[in-house]
């Protein structure tokens, strides 16, 4: 009964989405307030229905309703409750349902927080989001019903993929989807701008907090995915350039370019067209990521070809979104170029350069991800594009962006003074360069990769500090109070940039100075690695809730005499018989120690892999700081001021539109 | 803490461990140099039966067999290039994570540079246009009045708050942020 209720709720939500995707758009076109006013209640009702459907599925999982095919395939009587809940989005069907719930959630949020927007704008934004919802709900109902029943009812389920039974996995997909789907708001704002012809600084200000919020979630999602892979896949890698990872990196790169372009659009009214194009690209890349991960095209093009319904559906939808929005762009965009002039060296030109390199890097990732698929699909042979390719093309394209991070925020809008800026930054440049050149010499000899990475990280950190100093130099009084009074947008930008520096440090150091040993360890034997001493105490059997573990005991003593014990496991899952390696990690601010069990050798001896990973934690600390920065920037006062002004009877300034229209490009 | 004291503390902590501990762990190979060479090579090779794992990471049985085969080839004196060549002869370019540069992959290897050059060209064109743009666009008088009204109301209601519209800010003093 409950599953049918869920199915019914989805069908009803689709009906509402069809209305939301049509009536308000017609209303906005005709200027009919009654039709436009339907957008908000429709979005909110749709959200309520989809939450209900999601709850129905979660209920089926929690109560072991194995008559539901989805539950039977992805749960197990012994599966702990927390993973039964997360299994709700562990399958293809469940994760699509989560996608639609989150989309409806963003729509409902737009409906609630948009009271200062003109009604036409709200109607168009929610209308576009309704259309996106139609596509995904139809996909869900027609090809991937999460509530399909099974007869005869199996006695037990087949268990959730053990890889997904991990706390990182509990929050990774929801955060990632919050990001992916959040960009649908930016997309909807872009389409609404094209439809209405309103593409000015006010538009940028409205869409900017939404875009930054979505970017923040995506940042967390990508970071958490990387952390999950680090802990769960057993060899301590944190980025594999796997197509599924690239699928989340591509919208992130486009979204990063977008939030920087929007900054210029809001402040100076320039790059409006480009911002719209980027918003379309970012959301399209989110859809592309969904297609790549959900269609099965990655495991093999032929697997996709044998069961193409789902993939084809998403592909057609993607085609409609990209084709439709680009057509609209071609028809409407050229008429609306606005903004003023700026010099060859200015904040605007630097943001432009940032976008050039970010988009080139995005293009490289896109090319590397899709190229083998195309060759295979065209029958031109199978090739692999892996880390050597991506590292070779991605790093040179991103390094200039990192250098610009140090310059851009200090340059003035419109026209900046290059000699003056060079003079101000010469100290930071010199200290960063000399430190970075000397550091590898004190470790194990010259290393240009380390020098580049450390230089860029220090350069960013120094210039971030410089940014604060310049902000405070004309103020007198308490420094602390002055710092607290700086706008959140400024704090957000600086923290995010500092996070980037930490991330670069982590990546550079761990890639170059990581050490590992692959050894045979009889009981009681010891091993030295990077000053740490490891003593192996053997492996004992330990039953888990739905698996049987061999749990190893490894006593570790650090170079500073501190001791702790690590318990790496080798798990055999009862339902699937899958063997999983559960690495044990000791986290530290300057290094992680990572132990993973290999195979038994008899007499209690095992092969063991031990890793010393210096500074790897900075990677995720940097990611958190990036997200914190994004969150602060999205919560800047000027957006909330705009919110509070909703009681203002005057609608948004209509005549301004004519200015932007007539503005010379 | 002085250096000597630290050593002392270290010794006190390590003594029981040293006393109890025994044989050191042995490398999981008889020939560490060969293993290092193998791992270095295997990182850039694909485990052809796995979803997307390198030969170095994978513990699939085919990967283990293939690694053993590479060891044999290396012991037999084959260079890294010769080893890779024999693998490509058997599995095709699919086994290489670094795709070879040949006509079929020109676009793949040249693409990123092409993207960058196109981007730079477009950016330079934009810069040129923006620099030669007349500093102030023609604005209709009623729009100017509207902008001025907005500016006033903005300031009176929220002193010091940023101005609502870029067009308005263009008309006012240059904003610092």
Q: Answer with the residue of higher pLDDT: A440 or A251.
A: A251
H/E stretch holding A598: strand A591-602
Q: Residue A626: what pLDDT? A: 96
Residues 6 or more apart whose CB falls under 8 angstroms from that of A77 comprise A64, A156, A157
Contact B25 A243 (CB under 8 A): no
Q: Which of residues 364-383 of A touch B (CB under 8 A)?
A: 364, 367-368, 371, 375, 380-383
- Same domain? B89 vs B57: yes
Q: Which domain holds residue B148?
A: 141-171
Is B156 touching A (CB cutoff 8 A)?
no
Q: Could you tell me if residue B88 is inside a domain?
A: yes
Is B24 touching A (CB cutoff 8 A)?
yes
User: For A454-492, what is each residue's pLDDT tens digit?
Assistant: 999 999 999 999 999 888 877 667 778 888 888 899 999
Q: Residue A642: what pLDDT? A: 56
User: For A594-613, what is each residue's pLDDT tens digit?
Assistant: 999 988 888 889 999 999 99
Q: Which of residues 385-424 of A touch B (CB under 8 A)?
A: 385-389, 392-393, 397, 412-414
Q: Could you tell me if residue B10 is inside a domain?
A: no
Q: Which of residues 555-584 of A touch B (CB under 8 A)?
A: 555, 557, 559-561, 563
- Same domain? B45 vs B83: yes
Q: Could you tell me if residue B8 is inside a domain?
A: no
* Gap between the Cα atoms of A60 and A580, Å rounded: 27
- Same domain? B151 vs B125: no
Q: Could you tell me if residue B114 is inside a domain?
A: yes
Q: Give the lowest-confidence range in A336-345, A406-415, A654-663.
A: A654-663
The strand pairing partners of A566, in sequence order, are: A554
Percent with pLDDT over 90 in chain A: 55
User: For B118-142, what is each residue's pLDDT tens digit?
Assistant: 999 999 988 888 887 665 544 555 6
Which residue of B lies nearest to A358 if distances are taken between CA atoms? B116
Contact A393 B9 (CB under 8 A): no
pTM score: 0.88
Is A266 touching B (CB cutoff 8 A)?
yes
Of the candidates B25, B109, B134, which has its C-beta nearest A525's C-beta? B25
Of the candidates B46, B108, B139, which has its C-beta nearest A371's C-beta? B108
Q: Residue B160: what pLDDT? A: 39
Average pLDDT, chain A: 88
* Gap between the Cα atoms of B151 and B165, Å rounded: 9
Which residue of A lies nearest to B28 if distances are taken between CA atoms? A519
Q: Which residues of A touch B162 (CB under 8 A)?
A: 638
With H, G, I as helix, E, B as strand and everything else as coil, classify residue B148: helix
- Same domain? B54 vs B86: yes
Residue A96 pLDDT > 80, yes or no?
Answer: yes
Q: Residue B27: what pLDDT? A: 82
Residue A650 pLDDT > 90, yes or no?
Answer: no
Burial A143-163 (b: 16+ CB within 10 A, else e): bbbbbeeeeeeeeebebbbbe
- Same domain? B121 vs B146: no
Q: Residue B157: what pLDDT? A: 43
Q: Residue B176: what pLDDT? A: 37
Is A632 touching B (CB cutoff 8 A)?
no
Which residue, A548, A554, A510, A513, is CA-closest to A532? A554
Residue A56 pLDDT > 80, yes or no?
Answer: yes
Q: Could you tell me if residue B26 is inside a domain?
A: no
Q: Answer with the residue of higher pLDDT: A29 or B165.
A: A29
Compute, in degrees rounded to 10, the torsion defined by CA atoms A147, A150, A156, A162.
-50
Q: Which CATH number goes with the domain that contains B65? A: 1.10.8.640
The strand pairing partners of A555, in sequence order, are: A535, A565
User: For A493-511, what is each residue's pLDDT tens digit?
Assistant: 999 999 999 999 999 999 9
Q: Which residues of B touch A242 (CB under 8 A)?
A: 52
- Number of domains, chain B: 3
Is B105 touching A (CB cutoff 8 A)?
yes
Q: Residue A647: what pLDDT? A: 44
Residue A336 pLDDT > 60, yes or no?
Answer: no
Q: Which residues of B touch A387 (CB under 8 A)?
A: 43-44, 54, 97
In this structure, are residues A230 and A298 in contact, taking their beta carbons and an 8 Å threshold?
Answer: no
- Same domain? B55 vs B87: yes
Contact A267 B166 (CB under 8 A): yes
Is B99 touching A (CB cutoff 8 A)?
yes
pLDDT-derived band at A8 (thresholds 50, 70, 90) equals very high
Is B127 touching A (CB cutoff 8 A)?
yes
Is B169 touching A (CB cutoff 8 A)?
yes
- Same domain? B61 vs B78: yes
- Same domain? B123 vs B149: no
Query: Would you mind telling me the total number of residues written for chain B in this entry?
Result: 177
User: For B8-58, what is each residue's pLDDT tens digit?
Assistant: 455 444 444 444 446 888 887 778 888 888 888 888 898 888 777 888 888
Q: Residue A657: what pLDDT? A: 37
Q: Give the lowest-confidence range in A107-111, A138-142, A284-288, B145-149.
A: B145-149
Is A527 touching B (CB cutoff 8 A)?
yes
Q: Residue A98: what pLDDT? A: 93
Q: Could you tell me if residue B68 is inside a domain?
A: yes
Q: Residue B170: what pLDDT? A: 39
In this structure, are residues B37 and B48 in contact, taking their beta carbons and an 8 Å threshold?
Answer: no
Q: Could you tell me if residue B13 is inside a domain?
A: no
Q: Residue B158: what pLDDT? A: 43
């Amino acid at each position: 009964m409950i599953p049918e209720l869920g199915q019914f709720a989805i069908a009803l939500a689709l009906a509402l989405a069809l209305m939301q995707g049509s009536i308000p758009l017609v209303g906005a076109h005709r200027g009919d307030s009654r039709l436009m006013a339907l957008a908000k209640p429709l979005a909110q009702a749709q959200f309520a229905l989809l939450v209900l459907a999601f709850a129905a599925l979660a209920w089926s999982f929690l109560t072991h309703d194995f008559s539901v095919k989805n539950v039977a395939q992805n749960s197990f009587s012994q599966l702990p409750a927390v993973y039964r809940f997360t299994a709700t989005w562990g399958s293809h069907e469940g994760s699509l349902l989560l996608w639609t719930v989150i989309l409806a959630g963003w729509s409902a949020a737009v409906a609630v927080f948009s009271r200062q927007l003109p009604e036409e704008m709200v109607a168009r934004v929610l209308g576009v989001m309704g259309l996106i919802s139609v596509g995904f709900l139809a996909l869900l109902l027609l090809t991937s019903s999460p509530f399909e029943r099974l007869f005869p009812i199996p006695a037990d389920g087949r268990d959730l993929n053990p890889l997904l039974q991990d706390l990182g996995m509990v929050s990774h997909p929801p955060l990632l989807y919050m990001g992916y789907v959040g960009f649908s708001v930016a997309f909807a704002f872009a389409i609404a701008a094209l439809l209405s012809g309103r593409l000015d600084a006010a538009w940028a200000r409205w869409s900017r907090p939404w875009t930054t919020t979505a970017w923040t979630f995506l940042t967390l999602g990508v970071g958490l995915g990387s952390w999950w892979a680090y802990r769960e896949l057993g060899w301590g890698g944190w980025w594999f350039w796997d197509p599924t990872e690239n699928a989340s990196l591509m919208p992130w790169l486009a979204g990063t370019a977008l939030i920087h372009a929007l900054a210029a659009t809001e402040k100076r009214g320039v790059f409006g067209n480009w911002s719209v194009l980027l918003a379309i690209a970012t959301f399209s890349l989110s859809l592309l990521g969904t297609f790549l991960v959900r269609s099965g095209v990655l495991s093999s093009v032929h697997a996709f070809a044998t069961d193409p319904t789902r993939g084809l559906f998403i592909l057609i939808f993607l085609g409609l979104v990209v084709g439709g929005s680009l057509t609209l762009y071609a028809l409407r965009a050229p008429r609306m170029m606005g903004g003023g002039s700026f010099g060859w060296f200015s904040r605007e030109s630097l943001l432009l350069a940032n976008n050039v390199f970010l988009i080139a890097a995005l293009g490289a990732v896109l090319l590397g991800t899709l190229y083998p698929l195309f060759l295979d699909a065209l029958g031109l042979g199978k090739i692999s594009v892996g880390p050597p390719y991506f590292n070779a093309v991605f790093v040179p394209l991103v390094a200039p962006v990192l250098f610009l991070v140090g310059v851009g925020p200090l340059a003035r809008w419109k026209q900046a003074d290059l000699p003056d800026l060079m003079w101000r930054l010469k100290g930071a440049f010199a200290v960063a360069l000399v430190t970075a050149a000397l550091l590898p010499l004190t470790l194990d000899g010259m290393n240009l990769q380390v020098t580049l990475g450390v230089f860029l990280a220090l350069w960013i950190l120094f210039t971030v500090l410089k940014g604060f100093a310049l902000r405070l130099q004309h103020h007198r009084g308490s420094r602390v109070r002055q710092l607290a009074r700086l706008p959140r947008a400024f704090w957000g930008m600086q923290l995010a940039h500092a996070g980037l520096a930490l991330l670069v440090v982590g990546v550079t150091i761990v890639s170059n100075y990581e050490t590992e040993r692959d050894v045979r360890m009889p009981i009681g034997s010891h091993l030295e690695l990077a000053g740490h001493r490891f003593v192996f105490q053997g492996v004992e059997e330990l039953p888990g809730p739905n698996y049987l573990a061999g749990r190893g005991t490894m006593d570790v003593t650090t170079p500073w005499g501190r001791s702790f014990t690590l318990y790496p496991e080798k798990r055999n899952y009862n339902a699937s018989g899958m063997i999983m390696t559960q690495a044990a990690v000791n986290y530290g601010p300057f290094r992680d120690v990572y132990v993973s069990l290999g195979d038994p050798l008899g007499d209690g001896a095992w092969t063991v892999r031990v890793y010393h990973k210096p500074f790897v934690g900075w990677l995720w600390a940097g990611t958190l700081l990036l997200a914190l920065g994004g969150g602060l920037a999205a919560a800047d006062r000027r957006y909330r001021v705009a919110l509070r002004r909703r009681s203002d009877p005057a609608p948004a300034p209509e005549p301004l539109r004519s200015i932007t229209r007539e503005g010379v490009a | 803490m002085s250096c000597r004291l630290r050593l002392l503390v270290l010794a006190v902590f390590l003594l029981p461990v040293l006393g109890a501990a025994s044989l050191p762990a042995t490398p999981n190979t008889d020939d560490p140099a060969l293993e290092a060479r193998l791992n270095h090579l295997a990182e850039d090779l694909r485990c052809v039966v796995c979803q997307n794992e390198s030969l170095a990471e994978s513990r699939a049985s085919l990967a283990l067999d293939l690694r053993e085969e590479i060891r044999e080839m290396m012991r037999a004196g084959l260079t890294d290039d010769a080893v890779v060549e024999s693998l490509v002869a058997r599995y095709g370019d699919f086994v290489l994570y670094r795709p070879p540069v040949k006509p079929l992959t020109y676009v793949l290897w040249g693409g990123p540079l092409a993207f960058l050059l196109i981007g730079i060209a477009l950016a330079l064109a934009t810069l040129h246009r923006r620099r030669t743009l007349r500093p102030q666009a023609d604005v209709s008088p009623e729009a100017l009045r509207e902008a001025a009204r907005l500016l006033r109301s903005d300031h009176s209601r929220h002193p010091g708050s940023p101005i609502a519209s870029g067009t308005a800010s263009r008309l006012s003093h240059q904003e610092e942020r």
